[in-house]
Chains A and B, each alone.
Chain A
Amino acid sequence: MVFVVSLVVSLALGAWYNSVITEQSARLVEVAQSRARMIEAIAEYDRLDGYNHDRTHADSEKVTLGQVASAHKKFKGFGDTGEFTLAKKEGNKIVFFLKHRHDIEDIPKDVVWGSDVAAPMHKALQGESGLLIGLDYRGVEVIAAYEPVKLLNYGLVAKIDLSEIKKPFIYRAIQLILISITMVTIAALFFMRISTKLLRKIEHDEALIRGVIESAEDLIFAKNLTGQYIFVNRAMECLYNLPKAKILGKTPHEILPESLADNMCLNDGLVLKNIKFNNLECHFLIDGEIETYHTNKSPMVLDNGQISGQIGVSRNVTEQIKTESSLKDAVEKLDYTAQKYQKIFKTAEVSLWDEDFTELCTALEKLKNKGVVDIRKYLNDHLSEAYDLAALIKINDVNDKTLAIYGAKSKEDFFNSVTDTFGEDGIHIFIDEVEALWTGERSFTAKSKQRKVDGSEIHVVISIPLPKDKKLLKNVPVSIVDITERIIFEQKMVEEEKAKAELEFIVNQSPIVAFLWKNKEGWPVEYVSENVSAWGYSKEQFETNKISFSDIIEPRDLKKMSEEIQKYSEKYEDSFTQEYRILTPDGSVRWIDDKTWIRRNAQGEITHYQGICIDITEQKEFERQLWQAQKSESLGNMAGGIAHDFNNMLLPIIALADLTANQLEDNDPIRKRLIKILESGQNAQELVKRLMIFAREEETLLKEVDVNDLLASSFDLLQATIPSSMEITCNLLEKNVNILGSYAQLQSVFINIAKNAADAVQGKNALLDIKTSVVLNNFPLLKSFLKDGKSEKYLHIRMKDNGPGINQKHLARIFDPFFTTKPVGEGTGMGLAMVLSIVSAHHGVITVNSRLNKGTTFDIYLPII
């Protein structure tokens, strides 16, 4: 180390010294040459000047020397030892002329030509020019430049003591050597101190690296050129299941089956041609499982570039491959899921909007920081800000259903007109939404009336989940459901409800009673219209099942009705009509016309019957009267037709019997017979008359009739014609009235009714009570029979007997012409028919009521003028 340092220092100093010497030499040469040329120039001048002054060369030489000496006096030399010397060879001596600085003597002593000293001056005086290191006139080693001064044959030397030049180098050399020794010593000490640690560290590191390599899970190996292992780590031992000693020095083919060995040696040839391979895939069967290894192979290259073998590292990537495979699966699954959700988004039956709330929420945060507390009030007060906030919501995407709902042809079409879809209430719904967001609600739902792209109205429900997590603000799924149909349906429902209520009102105002009864024993009622009150029952009585439908049916009609329903139900008819009677709470009987619909369930079973029932009692009575009238009319027509012929036929019977009888003696037996013929003919004539009255063949002339007078005369007539076994009572009107009528016909009415009563009673205590009164046209028993053109007041004549009564069957036919219960020959059946005809001709009403064993009552009502 010291040597090296000294060498380096010496070399450095040597080089420096050389350069200094070269530099000094050049300076000396330059100085010597310039001074010599200058002296030559002065000598030349002096010589020329000498020509002008007739001076000799020797004198001129002296002048020149004098000038040089004079100039030289002030010259103090250069450095410590540098000076010029000027000399001339005189004989065998060298004579110096100039005073030199080494104060030995004023002018150096002459030197013997050819001596060792003044070597440079020798050279200069020999006419040479150059540089040398040699002894000067003092015998001191100098470096000197010598130059001849040719005109004067002098020599000039510029010199400096070599010692002066060497002195700093020697000093520096000593200094450097000392420093070097010190440094080397220090370095040696330091090196000594740390080299031990370094060595230990290197050893440790090597052990560590070896340990790492040995214990690495990767297979690490090195093979020589012939493919024999020269290094294997522990993992290789495990792989081969052999100790190192049995692996090293062997090729894989000596250890493994050929196919596996081939696998191991894959591309070995190429590696030895200096090609690196990464991730060569090899497979090994380990414990029955195929394990996959990725091998990196690279050549081992020596310093001289020769390849000595190869190094390989194999890594078991089975797990990695599995992991990658599962990762790939997961990614695929994720991709599938993403696609699935994308598909769901795209094909959802609900309008979905993917919206970005980030900017909106940021803006709301700012408002919060600004001190806004009540956002609703704030936005309502600053509506333009609300619109600005709404514009901050970015719509990322919408699905196909959205386009369908809003009638947009494409997304572009939709986005171009999306602001037109917001309804008039849009901004207020937006404010509600912002408030929900502001107050941290989890979701927001609102109904809104919006517009389609074409401007038509739609009703929608908007649902927005309001995310707490800021990350979710970027994709807020807003769903919009089109409820237009539902709204229209609801409106329709409301209208239908209204219509239903109106219908119910109409039904209740109408004479139609609507029933819905169940197909169960007794027909329990599920619904009945309120107007059932017209029958004297209440809706509630039926609907709380206090009364069932069958309870009100007249018992005589119930069986028939059940059979009818049964019949139509079996026929699978939808509806049928029937007439039946019902009983009212006051005991009266009403006729009902019922149209019944049969309701069935999905299985075809009858669940309900619904009926609309009309009270046709009055209509029935009217029909009866009409039927009566029609019957009477046809009979009248018939009677009119036969009366003429009949009268003609009776003429010979009556007239000839009368004639012949009168021509016979009173006691002639034939005369008696003829009288019987005459009487019988006259009876027939009477019958024809009655028929004609019935047929109104004989015009009824109605005149003003005094009622009390009529009653009085009729009473007298009755007393005369009715058997005395029947007591007749008759009252007169307190206040007499007039009616328009036929005296005779009205009398015949009384007589006919009285005769019937007398025939029926046939016994003692027979009684006929005639009561008369005046009633108004709203008299309960009368009003339902009156038609248009009715009078205000009516004369009511009630004729009541105490006979056996008439059964219902007969009572219904009592006014029929030719209807009689009397034996053949005793009654004509025209009496009451004529009575009805007369009363009708008087624009009156006649009714009959009868109770068995109690008697029969005729009520006659005649209009009062």
Chain B
Amino acid sequence: MVKILVIDDEELARFTIREVLESKGYSVLEAGDGEKGIEIFHSEHIDLIITDIIMPKKEGVETIIELRKEAPDLKIIAISGGGRTRNLDFLKLAGEYGANKVIAKPFSATDLLSAVQECLE
């Protein structure tokens, strides 16, 4: 069973993504921030990580850089609601630092599932 780790500080976002992924039979693990996410990654076999960019404690881009160092082949999808800061496209940045896909929030269930599928293929 494909195991997907969702890292997002928004509980509602984690719930939504879990609902969507579980509907297609993916096993979903959750983390509230980057540190927690990396901890879980170390303790579990994770096939795919979906991480938010703007988070407390450890930012998404920082998390991606760390994960990529440890697991260059790990599939990572970066998601972000954008905003807050101007002139910096964190999603694009995430892509440059190793996210396999980037999706802007809000996205539909369809968009997410197709992105996950693309990554896992």
Contacts and interface: CB of A to CB of B under 8 A. Distances in A.
A647 B23 contact: no
Nearest to B20: A659
Contacts of A644: 54, 80-84
A230 interface: no
A659 B84 CA distance: 28
A696 B87 contact: yes
Contacts of A646: 81, 83
B16 to A, nearest CB: 4
B109 A643 contact: no
Contacts of B83: 639-647, 692, 697
Contact of A641 (B84, B87, B107, B112): B84
A655 B84 contact: no
B17 interface: yes
B102 to A, nearest CB: 13
B85 interface: yes
B118 to A, nearest CB: 17
Contacts of B87: 696, 699
Interface stretch (B7-15, B25-33, B35-43, B60-68): B7-15
B12 A652 contact: yes
A348 B104 CA distance: 104
Interface in B50-66: 54
A321 interface: no
Contacts of A658: 108-110
Contacts of B86: 636, 640, 695-697
B105 A647 contact: yes
A641 B81 CA distance: 11
B19 interface: yes
A610 to B, nearest CB: 50
Interface residues of B, number: 27
Interface string A626-665: 0000000000100111111111111111111011001100
A685 B106 CA distance: 7
Contacts of B106: 647-648, 650-651, 653-655, 681, 685
B73 interface: no
B44 interface: no
A274 to B, nearest CB: 149
Does more than half of chain A's interface fall in helix, strand or loop, or is it mixed?
A: helix
Given A643-B82, A645-B81, A659-B23, A652 B15 contact: yes
A503 to B, nearest CB: 50
A564 to B, nearest CB: 43
Contacts of A678: 108
B89 A651 contact: no
A681 B108 CA distance: 10
Given A647-B81, A696-B87, A652 B16 contact: yes
Contacts of A697: 82-83, 86
Nearest to A651: B106
Interface string B65-99: 00000000000000011111111010000000000
A653 B105 CA distance: 11
Contacts of B84: 640-641, 643-644
Nearest to B8: A648
A840 to B, nearest CB: 15
A698 interface: yes
Please indicate which of the listed interface residues B20, B84, B105, B112 has the most CB atoms of chain A within 10 Å of its own CB.
B105
Contacts of B110: 658, 662
Contacts of A636: 86
Contacts of B85: 640
B91 to A, nearest CB: 10
B95 to A, nearest CB: 14
A659 B106 CA distance: 13
A696 B83 CA distance: 10
A648 B10 contact: yes
Contacts of A695: 86
Contacts of B12: 648-649, 651-652
A651 B13 contact: yes
A90 to B, nearest CB: 217
B82 A655 contact: no
B45 to A, nearest CB: 26
A153 to B, nearest CB: 209
Given A644-B84, A698-B89, A656 B109 contact: yes
A656 B105 CA distance: 13
Contacts of A681: 106
Nearest to B85: A640
B36 to A, nearest CB: 18
Please indicate which of the listed interface residues B15, B86, B104, B106 has the most CB atoms of chain A within 10 Å of its own CB.
B106
Given A654-B106, A655-B16, A659-B20, A699 B81 contact: no
A262 to B, nearest CB: 140
Nearest to B113: A659
A699 B86 CA distance: 8
Contacts of B109: 655-656, 658-659, 662
Contacts of B107: 651, 654-655
A345 B90 CA distance: 103
Please indicate which of the listed interface residues B54, B81, B85, B104 has the most CB atoms of chain A within 10 Å of its own CB.
B81
Nearest to A652: B16
B19 A659 contact: yes
A656 B79 CA distance: 16
A640 B20 CA distance: 28
Contacts of A645: 81, 83
A654 B42 CA distance: 32
B33 to A, nearest CB: 15
Interface in A595-628: none
A678 B105 CA distance: 14
Contacts of A699: 87, 89
Contact of A643 (B13, B81, B108): B81
Nearest to B104: A647
A83 B110 CA distance: 228
A682 B12 CA distance: 18
A643 B82 CA distance: 7
A313 B12 CA distance: 160
Nearest to A684: B106
8 contacts: A636-B86, A645-B81, A647-B80, A647-B82, A648-B10, A655-B112, A658-B110, A659-B109
Interface of B: 10, 12-13, 15-17, 19-20, 23, 54, 80-87, 89, 104-110, 112
The 10 closest A-B pairs by CB, nearest first: A643-B83, A644-B83, A647-B81, A659-B109, A650-B106, A658-B108, A658-B109, A651-B106, A644-B81, A652-B16
Given A652-B12, A656-B20, A692-B82, 20 more contacts: A640-B86, A642-B83, A643-B82, A643-B83, A647-B104, A648-B12, A648-B13, A648-B105, A648-B106, A651-B10, A651-B13, A651-B106, A652-B15, A653-B106, A654-B106, A655-B20, A655-B109, A658-B109, A696-B86, A697-B86
